[in-house]
Amino acid sequence: MKKYSLKNDYSEGAHPKILDAMIRTNLEQQDGYGEDDYSKKASEIIKEKLNNKEAEIHFVSGGTQANLLVLSSLLESYQSIIAADSGHISVHETGAIENTGHKINTVKTKDGKLTVEMIASVLAEHTDEHMVDPKVVFISNSTEVGSIYMKKELQELSHYCKEKGLLLYLDGARLGSALTSKKNDLTLADISELVDAFYIGGTKNGALIGEAIVLNKKELQVKFRYRMKQKGALLAKGRLIGIQFLELFKDDLYFEISEHANKMAEKLSGAIKKGGFEFMVEPVSNQIFPILPNELIEKLHEKYDFYIWEKIDDKNSAIRIITSWATKNIVTEVFIEELEKYVK
Amino acid sequence: MKKYSLKNDYSEGAHPKILDAMIRTNLEQQDGYGEDDYSKKASEIIKEKLNNKEAEIHFVSGGTQANLLVLSSLLESYQSIIAADSGHISVHETGAIENTGHKINTVKTKDGKLTVEMIASVLAEHTDEHMVDPKVVFISNSTEVGSIYMKKELQELSHYCKEKGLLLYLDGARLGSALTSKKNDLTLADISELVDAFYIGGTKNGALIGEAIVLNKKELQVKFRYRMKQKGALLAKGRLIGIQFLELFKDDLYFEISEHANKMAEKLSGAIKKGGFEFMVEPVSNQIFPILPNELIEKLHEKYDFYIWEKIDDKNSAIRIITSWATKNIVTEVFIEELEKYVK
Amino acid sequence: MKKYSLKNDYSEGAHPKILDAMIRTNLEQQDGYGEDDYSKKASEIIKEKLNNKEAEIHFVSGGTQANLLVLSSLLESYQSIIAADSGHISVHETGAIENTGHKINTVKTKDGKLTVEMIASVLAEHTDEHMVDPKVVFISNSTEVGSIYMKKELQELSHYCKEKGLLLYLDGARLGSALTSKKNDLTLADISELVDAFYIGGTKNGALIGEAIVLNKKELQVKFRYRMKQKGALLAKGRLIGIQFLELFKDDLYFEISEHANKMAEKLSGAIKKGGFEFMVEPVSNQIFPILPNELIEKLHEKYDFYIWEKIDDKNSAIRIITSWATKNIVTEVFIEELEKYVK
Amino acid sequence: MKKYSLKNDYSEGAHPKILDAMIRTNLEQQDGYGEDDYSKKASEIIKEKLNNKEAEIHFVSGGTQANLLVLSSLLESYQSIIAADSGHISVHETGAIENTGHKINTVKTKDGKLTVEMIASVLAEHTDEHMVDPKVVFISNSTEVGSIYMKKELQELSHYCKEKGLLLYLDGARLGSALTSKKNDLTLADISELVDAFYIGGTKNGALIGEAIVLNKKELQVKFRYRMKQKGALLAKGRLIGIQFLELFKDDLYFEISEHANKMAEKLSGAIKKGGFEFMVEPVSNQIFPILPNELIEKLHEKYDFYIWEKIDDKNSAIRIITSWATKNIVTEVFIEELEKYVK
């Protein structure tokens, strides 16, 4: 029997409404390279939600592509990026950023989140032309360990960056989960106001493929389509992503389904807490990192697929569980039963 | 009224069988990053058609991405690519190849096809370390002007490249159309035998997205997935392309639909010839370049969308017409009627 | 017996006055990385000669380094350079420019010189984001075939570039020879006014090593030292180049010795003309390209080293002869005797 | 009065014997681009000292250039370098390595030296294609904090690298000082046997300019001159460096003068120890890092120029003092007097 996967939020295809829209529009002739009606409409709707008419939206096929494309466009050759050492670009993109020519200055964090102090410490170390010139601050929301930024925290980062002439970029691969977290107090419009560029992740929240890059300011938008084409990111059938983002945003399906993912995670973490277990990082989004006895982990691994994240001590490890728009209620219930059996 | 587009072969979505397969498999849980069952099966089937078990298949989202990814992987930093000056990489990829660090040595051609003599002339000019070291020969089949390589021509190129230590790469964005041309005498297996690497175009032949890169030899395959990830080409939901190529190749749908595209083009070019008009390049595939009076072009432009390719003289221009898997018979018939009206 | 080399202008070491200055200052302690007193003084003196206080001067070790450093600093990743196909960057720098990520759009020329029409033809072909965006015009003075730009020609290029938003860059590897040509009507100050950036070549005009990059405008100067360091161009003992350029420019030694080189070339070309021979390009600087009978070439090759540049017909070839600050009068006299013997 | 600089080992020009050789050979005609007699002879002599006829020697103008050139030539695009976080490439080369496309995986060290355990920990973290593939181990000898590798340590690193398929590269900017340290038990020939590539630093040990790159194995040498030219590292007057390295190695001047530098450092550190002060890192080469009271540092700063390296506590700081081939005995004596005055 195949295990049920709680490894990630991209194990299934697309939300059914998205497939419906694709079928509905399939034989219409549309212009290529993102100049189709659907990409345009999706872009307009997203800009409304951002409350930022000046923004420019571009659709690309994946998160690493979005990151390397935007970050390299923000930097002169000698400039670097400040990121958490757990940041996706720091570890899990096979040196994609360095391959565009730029150093990443990493800082250690407890919960995957950057603070003004951390950024300041990097700036203090970089004083002259023998060192890189830190220019962009990279954050993720939710972060790679499931934590989220509060409005106050993002404001502090934003103000500091403006003061220091830095640019703030947000990797929103799991932005849906962050913005529908019970703890969250940020809106899409807040984000558009506080960061210079970011992307809204589709792949990990119900789309078949695709991320929506948001460039908030005119000066960052110059000839961005040239950059996309050059990096192999301009899709001939751009409609493929336009249709999906239109479907995700026209009636807020995006938030509805990420809220579902969060609820599934919450049910699991509630039961885990009740079982007396702790978490590596406080669970607030669709990624949770409970610390469980190895014995229990082994038991759960018989039926579920998930990553063992970190050895905690000889008897316990942290695991990573991810829920998604497609996670079924019944799955969480059965998982919880297993857990309760063990606890007794 | 919207014009009917004959501008390109990516105006519509996907072949209905592809959409069906996507719906059918949508809620299955699959591994990410191209390690899903469908990508694996598609890869196996393609390797059978290539009659080359040693080949490695990788799926990416577009042609520019395929080109920049494979070509940069074949070259040392100081090595260059020899290509026709009409080659896609020479003009229409926004310097994507140069952006990976490599020069393209271009040669003028009549019909978009390279010959041994052209390659030899580039080699003769490059003699020492003050110049680049030409290493890869880039060809397209069909070419950017619709011509195709005959088996003998490809064999000559292949033998010359082996003799000179060059690598031969084929851009197969429209390989379906080339291999189902009436004039064609090549098979997929021939190509796999004669070139070092190539890609089989999906986007321009019925897929929603995707190209299948074929690396024919072990030594070109080393850690290719690292390169894909680094360039943002490894899709989280790799199933999206795997499912499509499985559908296209399991029952030769790929060839069936490109044959349709060719037939539609043939009907058009037959009528154009009958009308007494000539072609910029002899029409043999789904791209045709008739030379028409400007007056007629204007008339056709009222109902059809296509590119005016080149001014021929004060009264005539070459236009580019492209047919596809989705081009309807009735459209060609109406087009031909218009033409006949004008000729009378 | 070793042949006398007329192959290039970098066969000898440095002008004796330069060596004297190096010995004189050898044991002084100076700051590193170009912040020594000599580099500063040399920079001040050159800026005076340029009549441009706003200019910034940077010293680097060679011409390819100067070109790749400045050109890459002027361009966004998707932008390209327009150059003559005989331009040094087009052929003789092993793809150094492409290695920084940029395409060169080459145009054929008769005499190595670009015109407004040539540039306009490149611009006309580059219309959208599927193609590179031409941004910098690269010229050399004197050119790679010994020709020079007249003031009117440079003004036309300069005005056109301003009008079109292009940047104009001049490779001055042999600027001394150009500016002391009998035909020349340009000054260093004219050049500084008409181009955006250029370099004054030292290596080919009496220095042991070194070129002086001139960045004429504030906006091109931002953190240029960061770029130098990153490309390995910031020398720890920057004094080495500063001392040389101070020596070359404080009393116009630079022009004095390039004038000598030109005179030696003039003597040779005068005798060649008198002998009834023609030139591939009209000789006006220290590089001359006479067309001589192969028989005579063979004879001369017994005593002199030079390049055979191009086959003209079955009996004649063009050769390249280069004179320098170190070319002795007696050498030209003996060469002329040989020639005269043959002509009789 | 100008302070006496103990900031670095490149404050003066060149050793007088080097200048003598340059004057002696100045007017000889020599081939360009490192194909002169002197570069060839210097290369032969160095290969004898290495006891490695298979090695290839190339001369370049500086250390950052040597590092970026060799390291990028050893790596595929997705491969990375393991280095100490105090490594020159990690901090002080303005992202030169990343600018060639590669990530550096840094590890914390106490004394600037890597161990097998540190390398193993990086390898353990890099397991699949979502992460870079560590391939080269970068070490410096002497290190950036003045420590040196013992033969046993280098052997361990070398064996481990061979076992794991890693390449070992040594930055020898201050190799002279390392190999003439009292503590040293390595020879040039040992190094050539134990590492895959390294460079012998000239700039910081008596040369006016120049480093000698050593490529120890045939497979690393392929078309290296193409790489040099492409990066702007092939000097037209290559003789300039050839003459210097010939002078430095023909009678072991290189070791003689670095031994002098070490002796000067030893005198200073002896007196500092005698004064009861400690060191940040045990002093063994020409870079020493004594920890002194801020009051004393201020006093010394009146007459000497040096870097304050690190705050130790409220009253004490570590400073960096560097001696060189040009440091005069009398300077160290006066320095020691000042010190003794303070201690009393």
A137 pLDDT above the threshold of 70: yes
pLDDT per position as a tens digit, A261-292: 999 999 999 999 999 999 999 999 999 999 99
pLDDT per position as a tens digit, B117-167: 999 999 999 999 999 999 999 999 999 999 999 999 999 999 999 999 999
Q: B101 vs C98: CB contact, 8 Å cut-off? A: yes
Q: A130 vs C227: CB contact, 8 Å cut-off? A: no
Closest Cβ–Cβ partner in D11, D68, D236 for C62:
D236
Q: C226 vs A133: CB contact, 8 Å cut-off? A: yes
Closest Cβ–Cβ partner in A91, A92, A101 for D99:
A101
| Gap from A164 CA to chain B (nearest CA, Å) | 30
State the residue for tokens 């200048």. D19
Q: C237 vs D30: CB contact, 8 Å cut-off? A: no
| Gap from B236 CA to chain D (nearest CA, Å) | 11
Contacts of B208 in chain A (CB under 8 A): 22, 237, 240
CA A265 to CA C157: how far, in whole Å?
Answer: 65
CA A116 to CA A127: how far, in whole Å?
Answer: 18
Closest Cβ–Cβ partner in A65, A208, A240 for B237:
A208
Q: Give all chains having 3 or more CB-to-CB distances under 8 Å with chain A.
A: B, C, D
Q: B29 vs A4: CB contact, 8 Å cut-off? A: yes
| Gap from C278 CA to chain A (nearest CA, Å) | 47
**Rounded mean pLDDT, D245-252:** 98
A193 contacts: CB under 8 Å, gap ≥ 6: A51, A52, A216
Q: D72 vs B77: CB contact, 8 Å cut-off? A: yes
D1 pLDDT above the threshold of 90: no
C319 contacts: CB under 8 Å, gap ≥ 6: C289, C290, C292, C297, C300, C306, C307, C308, C309
Q: A13 vs B69: CB contact, 8 Å cut-off? A: no
E strand intervals along A110-268: 133-140, 167-172, 197-201, 211-215
Contacts of A232 in chain B (CB under 8 A): 60-62, 64-69, 96, 231-233
Q: Tell me which residue of A51, C34, C200, B222 sits closest to D209, measured CA to CA.
A: C34
Contacts of A129 in chain C (CB under 8 A): 223, 225-226, 228-229, 234
Closest Cβ–Cβ partner in A76, A129, A223 for C78:
A223
- Percent with pLDDT over 90 in chain D: 99
What pLDDT score does B2 carry? 82
Contacts of B99 in chain C (CB under 8 A): 77-78, 101-102
Write the CA distances from B316 to A82, B280, B284, D255, integer angstroms: 58, 11, 22, 79
C313 pLDDT above the threshold of 70: yes
What pLDDT score does D343 carry? 87
Contacts of C99 in chain B (CB under 8 A): 77-78, 101-102
Best of B80, B90, B92, B103 to substitute, by most chain C Cβ atoms within 10 angstroms, is: B103
What pLDDT score does C343 carry? 87
Best of C77, C103, C107, C135 to substitute, by most chain B Cβ atoms within 10 angstroms, is: C103
A1 pLDDT above the threshold of 70: no
Q: C130 vs A228: CB contact, 8 Å cut-off? A: no
CA B287 to CA A152: how far, in whole Å?
Answer: 57
State the residue for tokens 């950017």. B144
Angle between helices C239-250 and C37-50 (to 10 degrees): 40
> In D77-207, which ranges are continuous DSSP H helix?
88-91, 96-99, 116-125, 151-164, 175-179, 188-194
| Gap from B98 CA to chain D (nearest CA, Å) | 14
Is residue D344 very low, low, confident or very high in pLDDT (cuts 50, 70, 90)? Answer: confident
Q: B94 vs A226: CB contact, 8 Å cut-off? A: yes
CA A40 to CA A26: how far, in whole Å?
Answer: 17
Task: List the single residue in C with minimal CA-CA distance to B106.
Answer: C106
C98 contacts: CB under 8 Å, gap ≥ 6: B80, B98, B101, B102, B103, B132, C104
CA D17 to CA D254: how far, in whole Å?
Answer: 11
pLDDT per position as a tens digit, A220-257: 999 999 999 999 999 999 999 999 999 999 999 999 99
Residues across chain A = 344
CA A86 to CA C85: how far, in whole Å?
Answer: 48
Q: D78 vs A101: CB contact, 8 Å cut-off? A: no
- Percent with pLDDT over 70 in chain A: 100
What pLDDT score does A343 carry? 87
Q: Tell me which residue of B75, B69, B119, B118 sits closest to B89, measured CA to CA.
A: B69
pLDDT per position as a tens digit, D38-55: 999 999 999 999 999 999
**Rounded mean pLDDT, A210-229:** 96
Q: Give all chains having 3 or more CB-to-CB distances under 8 Å with chain C.
A: A, B, D
A87 contacts: CB under 8 Å, gap ≥ 6: A104, A106, A112, A138, A139, A140, A144, A171
Widest Cα–Cα separation across chain B = 63
The three-state secondary structure class of A252 is coil
pLDDT per residue, tens digit, chain B (344 aa), is 589 999 999 999 999 999 999 999 999 999 999 999 999 999 999 999 999 999 999 999 999 999 999 999 999 999 999 999 999 999 999 999 999 999 999 999 999 999 999 999 999 999 999 999 999 999 999 999 999 999 999 999 999 999 999 999 999 999 999 999 999 999 999 999 999 999 999 999 999 999 999 999 899 999 999 999 999 999 999 999 999 999 999 999 999 999 999 999 999 999 999 999 999 999 999 999 999 999 999 999 999 999 999 999 999 999 999 999 999 999 999 999 999 999 88
State the residue for tokens 């010293």. C59
| Gap from C108 CA to chain B (nearest CA, Å) | 13
CA within 13 Å, CB half, B304: 25
State the residue for tokens 């999206």. B240
Closest Cβ–Cβ partner in D78, D94, D95 for A94:
D78
Is residue D239 very low, low, confident or very high in pLDDT (cuts 50, 70, 90)? Answer: very high
User: Could you tell me which residues of chain D have a Cβ less than 8 Å from any Cβ in chain A?
Assistant: 77-78, 80, 91-95, 98-104, 129-132
pLDDT per position as a tens digit, A139-163: 999 999 999 999 999 999 999 999 9
What pLDDT score does B289 carry? 98
C140 pLDDT above the threshold of 70: yes
Q: Tell me which residue of A34, A18, A35 sits closest to A26, measured CA to CA.
A: A18
Distance of CA A220 to the CA centre of its chain: 21
Closest Cβ–Cβ partner in D129, D130, D226 for B129:
D226
Q: Encode burial over A214-242: b for 16+ CB neighbours within 10 A, e otherwise.
A: bbbeeebbebbbbbbbbbbbbbbbbbbbb
Report yes or no: B61 and A235 within 8 Å, Cβ to Cβ: yes
B57 contacts: CB under 8 Å, gap ≥ 6: B42, B43, B46, B47, B212, B213, B214, B215
Report yes or no: C272 and C290 within 8 Å, Cβ to Cβ: yes
Q: B77 vs D230: CB contact, 8 Å cut-off? A: yes
Closest Cβ–Cβ partner in D2, D10, D26 for C32:
D10
Q: D226 vs B72: CB contact, 8 Å cut-off? A: no
Whole-structure pTM value: 0.97
**Rounded mean pLDDT, C166-194:** 98
| Gap from C155 CA to chain D (nearest CA, Å) | 30
Contacts of D234 in chain B (CB under 8 A): 129
CA D215 to CA A146: how far, in whole Å?
Answer: 47
Residue D7 has φ and ψ, to the nearest 5°, of -75, -35
Q: C232 vs D231: CB contact, 8 Å cut-off? A: yes
Q: Tell me which residue of B187, B180, B184, B76 sits closest to B132, measured CA to CA.
A: B76
| Gap from C98 CA to chain B (nearest CA, Å) | 5
Is residue A333 very low, low, confident or very high in pLDDT (cuts 50, 70, 90)? Answer: very high
Q: D237 vs C10: CB contact, 8 Å cut-off? A: yes
Closest Cβ–Cβ partner in C23, C63, C236 for D19:
C23
**Rounded mean pLDDT, C244-251:** 98
Closest Cβ–Cβ partner in D33, D78, D229 for B227:
D78
State the residue for tokens 């390169």. B227
Closest Cβ–Cβ partner in B10, B69, B240 for A209:
B240
| Gap from C134 CA to chain D (nearest CA, Å) | 22
| Gap from A255 CA to chain D (nearest CA, Å) | 29
Q: Tell me which residue of D64, D144, D182 sits closest to C232, measured CA to CA.
A: D64
| Gap from D135 CA to chain A (nearest CA, Å) | 13
Q: D132 vs A77: CB contact, 8 Å cut-off? A: no
State the residue for tokens 């989280």. B236
CA C71 to CA C54: how far, in whole Å?
Answer: 20
Report yes or no: B188 and B254 within 8 Å, Cβ to Cβ: no
Task: List the single residue in D with minimal CA-CA distance to B133.
Answer: D226
| Gap from C300 CA to chain D (nearest CA, Å) | 18
Structural domains of chain D in order of their starting residue, each with its CATH number:
4-10+254-343 (3.90.1150.10), 16-253 (3.40.640.10)
The three-state secondary structure class of B286 is coil
Task: List the single residue in C with minimal CA-CA distance to A228.
Answer: C129
Q: What is the ipTM of this complex?
A: 0.97
What pLDDT score does A344 carry? 83
